[in-house]
């Protein structure tokens, strides 16, 4: 009796020991270190450095001066407005064109495999390569686009040289390159719609247009919100395509915040460049958070 309690007492202490989880927390460690050091730390540091005049070696605190400059300089304001326009135009077009292409590709149309590949392939191609190619194609006098238009007696515009048009031309190329992704997202959304809905609608005598408007469109809302969110964030952050095609020009006509950040960095205005980063961050937070909330709330009502 007493022997068994004696033998039991060390075991009793063992009871207290917490058994290790089979899902060890240290699995987070490598990712956490890399992510924290190279992403989180700079992000938080940017909040401070955006308030300084900064040479990388030393920084002088100047309060909100960098931000004030952002709101004062016309070319910086222009960049801000351009960024929003660019994001809105590209995501809007990707939604419309992507949905139409997806509807087409999920119908009984011939050559679906070919169409799908052709539309999707540009997604995988180097953005800079695409940008350079279209810069050549969009040349006002020697570009293939305007030369082709001229065959029909149309005088093509200066796609990238007209200050009022340059940003939209780049946006158009962005849509050309990115619409394939929107399309496949919509295709995934469309094939997930149960066929019953269409059958029920057919029994109710719906026309194809009513089908689209009352069945397809509401039921692929999750895909729509994905496409909008994804391409809107992407649009706000775009740098490479703009840099490859116009470098923000002509003048500052097609500058966006991302290109301003780069230009200020190149010019050595590190504090101002970092302020640009913070502005972009705030812009994304201000626009994307309400946007996703709006899109998701609507979804909940369905």
Partner 1 sequence: MKKRTSILGGAAAIAATFVVFVIPFIFIILMAFKDRQQSALRDFSLPTGFHFWENVVEVVKTRNWMMITAFINSSIITVVSVTLLVIFAAMVGYVLARRKTRWNGLIEFLVLAGLMVPPAVVPTIWLLQGLQLFGTLHGMILIEVAYNLPFSIILYRAFVATIPRDLDEAAIIDGARPLDVFFRIVLPLLWPVTVTNIVVQSVGIFNDFTNPLYYLPGNANATVQLTLYNFQSQFSTAYNLLFTNILLITIPPLLVFMFFNRQIVAGMTAGAVKG
Partner 2 sequence: MAGLELRQLRKSYGKVEVIKGVDLTIEHGEFVVFVGPSGCGKSTLLRMIAGLEDITGGELVIGDKVVNAVEPRDRGIAMVFQSYALYPHMTVYDNVGFGLKLARTPKEVRDQKIREAARILQMEHLLDRKPSQLSGGQRQRVAIGRAIVRQPEVFLFDEPLSNLDAALRVDMRMEISKLHSELDATMIYVTHDQVEAMTLADKIVVLDGGVVQQVGSPIELYKHPANLFVAGFIGSPKMNFVEVNADKIVGETVHVSGPDVVGVPVALPAGKVHPGDKLTLGVRPHDLVVAPSGAIVGRVGLVERLGNETIVNLELPSGASWLAVLDGDQALKRGESLALDVDPAKALLFDANGLAVAAG
Kindly state the tokens that stand for 283: 């812009």
Min dist CB 177 to partner 1, Å, is 10
Min dist CB 155 to partner 1, Å, is 18
Distance of alpha carbon 277 from alpha carbon 257, whole angstroms:
8
Give the residue, chosen from 2, 12, 25, 207, that forms a contact with partner 2 under the rule CB under 8 A. 12
251 binds partner 1 (CB under 8 A): no
Quick one: which segment of 7-15, 23-31, 171-179, 212-220 binds partner 2 (CB under 8 A)? 7-15
Question: Quick check: 67 and 50 in contact, CB under 8 A?
Answer: yes
Distance of alpha carbon 62 from alpha carbon 251, whole angstroms:
29
Residue 137 binding: pick among partner 2, partner 1, none (C-beta 5-8 Å cut-off by kind): partner 1
Give the residue, chosen from 1, 18, 31, 203, that forms a contact with partner 2 under the rule CB under 8 A. 18
- Within residues 46-85, the interface with partner 1 by CB under 8 A covers 46, 49, 54, 56
Residue 173's alpha-carbon distances to 23, 31, 176, 179, 276, in angstroms, are 46, 35, 5, 10, 25
Distance of alpha carbon 13 from alpha carbon 251, whole angstroms:
76
Min dist CB 37 to partner 1, Å, is 7
Kindly state the tokens that stand for 108: 């009984």
167 binds partner 1 (CB under 8 A): no
Residue 149 binding: pick among partner 1, partner 2, none (C-beta 5-8 Å cut-off by kind): none
Distance of alpha carbon 248 from alpha carbon 258, whole angstroms:
10
Kindly state the tokens that stand for 5: 């309690």
Kindly state the tokens that stand for 198: 């269409």
Distance of alpha carbon 270 from alpha carbon 45, whole angstroms:
13
Kindly state the tokens that stand for 77: 């304001």
Residue 260 binding: pick among partner 1, partner 2, none (C-beta 5-8 Å cut-off by kind): none
Write the CB contacts of 222 (distance below 8 Å, at least 6 apart in sequence): 189, 299
Give the residue, chosen from 16, 25, 152, 153, that forms a contact with partner 2 under the rule CB under 8 A. 16
Distance of alpha carbon 58 from alpha carbon 39, whole angstroms:
21
Residue 17 binding: pick among partner 1, partner 2, none (C-beta 5-8 Å cut-off by kind): partner 2
- Within residues 130-159, the interface with partner 2 by CB under 8 A covers none
- Within residues 82-141, the interface with partner 1 by CB under 8 A covers 104, 107-111, 114-115, 117-130, 132-134, 136-137, 139
- Within residues 10-39, the interface with partner 1 by CB under 8 A covers 20-25, 27-28, 30-32, 34-35, 37-39
Per CB under 8 A, residues contacting partner 2 are: 4, 7-8, 11-12, 14-20
């Amino acid at each position: 009796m007493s022997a068994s309690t004696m033998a039991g007492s060390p075991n009793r202490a063992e009871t207290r020991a917490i058994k290790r989880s089979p899902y060890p927390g240290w699995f987070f460690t490598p990712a956490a270190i890399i992510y924290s050091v190279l992403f989180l730390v700079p992000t938080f540091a940017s909040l401070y450095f955006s308030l300084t005049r900064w040479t990388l070696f030393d920084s002088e605190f100047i309060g909100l001066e960098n931000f004030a400059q952002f709101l004062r300089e016309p070319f910086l304001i222009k960049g801000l407005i351009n960024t929003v326009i660019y994001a809105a135009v590209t995501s809007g077009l990707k939604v419309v064109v992507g949905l139409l292409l997806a509807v087409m590709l999920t119908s009984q149309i011939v050559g679906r495999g070919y169409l799908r590949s052709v539309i999707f392939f540009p997604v995988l191609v180097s953005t800079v390569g695409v940008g350079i190619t279209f810069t050549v194609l969009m040349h006002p006098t020697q570009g293939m686009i305007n030369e082709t238009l001229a065959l029909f007696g149309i005088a093509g515009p200066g796609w990238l040289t007209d200050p009022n048009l340059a940003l939209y031309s780049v946006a158009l190329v962005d849509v050309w390159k990115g619409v394939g992704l929107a399309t496949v997202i919509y295709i995934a959304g469309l094939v997930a719609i149960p066929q019953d809905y269409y059958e029920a609608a057919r029994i109710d005598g719906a026309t194809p247009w009513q089908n689209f408007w009352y069945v397809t469109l509401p039921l692929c809302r999750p895909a729509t919100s994905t496409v909008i969110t994804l391409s809107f964030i992407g649009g706000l952050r775009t740098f490479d395509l703009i840099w490859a095609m116009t470098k923000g020009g002509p003048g500052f006509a097609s500058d966006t915040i991302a290109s301003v950040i780069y230009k200020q960095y190149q010019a050595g205005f590190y504090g101002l460049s970092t302020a640009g980063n913070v502005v972009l961050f705030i812009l994304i937070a201000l626009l994307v958070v309400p946007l996703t909330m709006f899109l998701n709330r609507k979804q909940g009502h369905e």
